[in-house]
Amino acid sequence: MGVAARLSPSEDPSSETADQRFGAECRVQLDPAVRDRLGLPVARLSGVAHQETMRVASFMLAKARQWLDAAGATLVWGSEPVARLSAGQHQAGTCRMGSDPATSVTDPWGRVWGHDNLFVSDGSLHPTNGGFNGTLRAPRRLSADTSRVLARYCDRVGSRI
């Protein structure tokens, strides 16, 4: 009895297991021409997957084929990754942290440049997802940001929490 195996549920074998990297040219912007049903501009992704992401995804595809062949699969299929961005993965790196407002969205603490009380506390601060779902890092980031904001507030009003 043969075993059939599909290597990935999507076109991108790295979608869940590889470190997804995004170049500085990748952007999430408001589309000036497309509106949602409420008349608000929709998000538009631009750029392509980083060359290293593509290399790792191709390597993983080849390894997966080897493992499945060794396990006795008689039919194995999958496709090479496509250099594109997708809203289907856990995107990262869209609000870069840095020390210069000209090249970053936030300061090193996640505070948006030019705004004292606006912080980014999600995966968009992370340059990559590190190979796993970045969702679990967001609560930790939010907790740290909340502690910092509360401490600043208490310093200003002279109280303790």
The tens digit of pLDDT for each residue in 81-101 reads 777 766 555 666 678 888 999
53 lies in the same domain as 29: yes
39, 67, 89 - which closes a domain: 89
**pLDDT grade for 5, boundaries at 50, 70 and 90:** low
Q: What range does the domain containing 153 cover?
A: 94-161
7 lies in the same domain as 78: yes
Per the CB < 8 A criterion, the answer to whether 53 and 18 are in contact is yes
48 lies in the same domain as 123: no
23 to 45, 133, 134: CA distances (angstroms) = 13, 19, 18
30 lies in the same domain as 46: yes
Report how many domains make up the chain: 2
85 lies in the same domain as 153: no
Residues assigned a catalytic role: 90
81 lies in the same domain as 98: no
The average pLDDT across 107-115 equals 89
89, 116, 139 - which closes a domain: 89
Gap between the Cα atoms of 80 and 33, Å rounded: 33
| Predicted TM-score (pTM) of this structure | 0.50
pLDDT of residue 10: 47
Place of tokens 């040219």: 25
137 lies in the same domain as 83: no
64 lies in the same domain as 121: no
pLDDT of residue 47: 79
75 to 2, 66, 84, 85, 140: CA distances (angstroms) = 8, 12, 27, 29, 43
38, 66, 89 - which closes a domain: 89
Q: What is the pLDDT of residues 21-56, one digit of tens each?
A: 666 777 778 899 999 999 999 988 787 777 887 888
